[in-house]
Amino acid sequence: MAHTRDCGARPFDHELHVIPRATARLHDHDVPELFKLRFPAHWAATPRKSRLATAWERDTLQWLRSFGMGATSKEADRLRKFVCGDYGGCSFPLANYERGLLVTQYISLWLFWDDLQVESELAWDVSEFVAALEGRHALAGASRYVLAWADLGVRLRRSQSEEWLAQLCSTMRQWLDNAKHETAIAQAWARGLAAPSYAEALACRNVSIGMYPTFLLDEFAGGFELSASTRAHPSLQALRHTAAGLVGFGNDLGGIAKDLKSGWLNLVSILAAEDDERLDDAFARVVAQHNADVLTFDRQAAELPSFGEEQDLSLRAWLDAVRHNVFGFTSWESTAQRYQEHVALVGSIPLLAPVTLSSEYPSRARSRP
């Protein structure tokens, strides 16, 4: 096993290794109970994964190839590791074929583009991608990414209101601005500068995980729109913040080995470095915060005011869709090869966070003040 020195790995963390998952020979009992991500049963849809997932994957890959993505063996392998049928199928399990296909294409393009350009470059222009979604970008000579975003924008404008589209573009711009900030932080750390504080990284991750645009895609996938006043209500803002945090925790817990191997910033390793503790202890603390926030989301949902009969019906559908998103994204991250090709071990302890449906939540892990 090769020693790994990456973000948050302290010099005396000599027990830390990142190895191929296939060689780890792990068993279920090797994962501590404190590492399990727990959701109540109502967070999972029936079925948990759309029966259309295989068709969505086939047609999404074909759509991406029509814009020149996945044409090389390296890019095709990257897309294979996305398992985009599961990506969309687990996260939007109740969508019909047409709407589910579009959101699967949207999030798959987003992930591919994020990996290849957003996380590695700072020179790209935020405005051109927002303009492509809005239908304002000249397409002659445009990049493959701009052309694909423009196609999605055309199709979304067929059914969505101008207000909804404006909100989608606003949240995408927020994500894009934050992505540049996160990339700059990661590149600065790679040059030997200090990592951000845990609080700073958590605030950045809450936006960079991409849930604020996804909350709008939940409306599209369900065939309804919340009113602008409902979305703007402080109680909905608090709910979105909690849900985005949950997906961020799931992403960094599921991707700890990938991030350690590539040297990318991760909430777990930042927390371990900041509080000078073992990586497995920090891992358990992030899991504990995730499990506590699942309950926080349900409490916040139960305390929502009424917005009128019609909006309340849509809001109940949206709340279920968000729960399915969080559970689906977290389940995908815990199994997709993109995240699970390698495993991080602290001694013999694997840093894995399996997803379980349970009403019991561990309380022994120390909470962050």
Above 80 in pLDDT, residue 110? yes
Of the listed ranges 170-184, 226-240, 289-303, 311-325, the least confidently predicted one is 170-184
pLDDT band, very low/low/confident/very high, at 129 (cuts 50, 70, 90): confident
Q: What is the pLDDT of residue 360?
A: 59
Model confidence at 345: pLDDT above 90? yes
* Residue 361: pLDDT over 90: no
Sheet containing 342-346, strands listed edge to edge, beginning at the edge strand earlier in sequence: 16-20, 342-346, 349-350
pLDDT (0 to 100) of residue 315: 98
Only one residue has tokens 């009424």, namely 306
Average pLDDT over residues 46-69: 97
Residue 13: the pLDDT is 60
Tally of residues, the chain: 369
Average pLDDT over residues 166-181: 91
For 17, list phi and psi in degrees, rounded to 5: -140, 145
Domain ranges of the chain: 16-357
Asked if the model's pLDDT at residue 214 lies above 80, the reply is yes
State the residue for tokens 């073992």: 278
**pLDDT above 90 (res 280):** yes
d(CA 170, CA 157): 15
Looking at residue 11, its pLDDT comes to 41
Over pLDDT 70: what percentage of the chain?
A: 91
For the structural domain made of 16-357, what CATH number should be given? 1.10.600.10
pTM for the whole structure:
0.91
**Closest CA relative to residue 258, chosen from 326, 334, 182:** 334
**CA 255 – CA 265 distance, rounded (Å):** 10
Please write the tens of the pLDDT for every residue from 312-334.
999 999 999 999 999 999 999 99
